[in-house]
Amino acid sequence: MNAPGTLTAADSGLPARARHARLRWPRTLRGKGLLALGAALVYLVAVALHVSQQRAELNRKVGELQVLHRYERALARAEVAVYNAGLEVQEAAFGPIDGGTPVSRSIALAIETATRSLDALEEHETGSVRRVRAVERAFQALRAAPLRANWLELRETLRRIQEDLTIQRDKTAHERESLTERYQQVFRGLTLEMYGLVLAGFVVFGAGVVAFFARLTRDLARLQQRAAEIVRGERLPPLPVERDDELGRLTHAVNRMAEDLDARARQLELEDQRRAHQEKMASLGALAAGVAHEINNPLATIAGIAQQLTALDAPLPAAAADAHGRQLLAETQRVAGVTRQIADLAAPRPADLPWLDLNAMLQPLLHFVRYDRRYRRIEFVEDLAPALPAVRALGDPVELVLMRLLAAIADTAAAGDARGARVGVATRAVGDGVELVLADEGAVPSAAPAARTPDDRAFEVCAAIVEPLGGTLRVERDGARLRRIALVLPAEPPSQAETTR
Q: What is the mean pLDDT of each run of 10 residues along the chain (501 residues)?
A: 43 44 63 83 88 84 86 87 86 66 80 86 80 87 83 87 87 88 85 86 86 84 83 79 81 84 79 71 66 73 77 72 76 72 54 69 81 77 85 78 85 71 87 86 61 70 83 82 85 46 42
- Determine what percent of the chain falls in helix, strand and coil, rounding each to the nearest 5: 70, 10, 20
Residue 204 lies in a domain: yes
Residue 314, phi then psi, degrees to nearest 5: -110, 165
Domain assignment present for residue 241? The answer is no
Domain-ending residue, one of 209, 244, 262: 209
Asked if residue 289 belongs to a domain, the reply is no
Boundary (domain end) residue, out of 187, 209, 231: 209
Reference 491, options 465, 471, 473; nearest CA is 471
| Eight-class DSSP state of 315 | P
Q: How far apart are CA 200 and CA 196, in angstroms?
A: 6
- Looking at residue 291, its pLDDT comes to 67
| pLDDT score of 344 | 56
3-state SS of 69-133?
HHHHHHHHHHHHHHHHHHHHHHHHHCCCCCCCCCCCHHHHHHHHHHHHHHHHHHHCCCHHHHHHH
Q: How far apart (Å, rounded) are the C-alpha atoms in residues 135 and 78?
A: 13
Residue at 12 is within a domain: no
Residue 432 to residue 490: CA distance in whole angstroms: 6
- pLDDT score at 17: 45
Q: Which residues, other chains included, contact 167 with Cβ-Cβ below 8 Å and sequence gap of 6+?
A: none
State residue 373's pLDDT score: 73
Q: What was the pLDDT predicted at 9?
A: 43
- Among 314, 300, 425, smallest CA distance to 375 is for 425
| Residue 494: burial class (beta carbons within 10 Å; 0-12, 13-18, 19+) | exposed
Q: Sign of the C-alpha dihedral, residues 77, 83, 87, 90?
A: positive
Residue 361 burial by CB count (10 A; 0-12/13-18/19+): exposed, middle or buried?
buried
Residues 52-93 have pLDDT tens digits of: 888 888 888 888 888 888 888 888 888 898 889 888 888 877
Q: Structural domain of residue 405, as residue ranges? A: 352-500
Query: pLDDT value at position 133?
Result: 87
Phi, psi of 469 (to 5 degrees): -85, 0
**Which spans in 122-245 are helix H?**
127-144, 148-231
411 contacts 441 by C-beta, under 8 angstroms: no
Give me the CATH number covering residue 393: 3.30.565.10
* Sequence-separated (6 or more) residues with CB below 8 Å from residue 323: none
H or E element in which residue 337 lies: helix 318-346
Whole-number pLDDT of residue 443: 63
Does residue 398 form part of some domain?
A: yes
Phi, psi of 381 (to 5 degrees): -95, 110
| pLDDT confidence of residue 260 | 85
In a domain, 452, yes or no: yes
Q: How much is the pLDDT for 353?
A: 47
Among 179, 209, 239, which residue terminates a domain? Answer: 209
pLDDT at residue number 340: 63
**Burial (Cβ within 10 Å: 0-12, 13-18, ≥19) of residue 242:** exposed
Reduced to 3 states, what is the DSSP secondary structure of residue 256? helix
Specify if 196 maps to a domain: yes
pLDDT at 314: 67
pLDDT at site 197: 85
Q: What distance in Å separates the CA atoms of residue 245 and residue 15, rounded to the nearest whole number? A: 20
Give residue 215's pLDDT. 82
In a domain, 270, yes or no: no
**Phi and psi at residue 434, in whole multiples of 5°?**
-120, 135
What's the total number of domains in the chain?
2
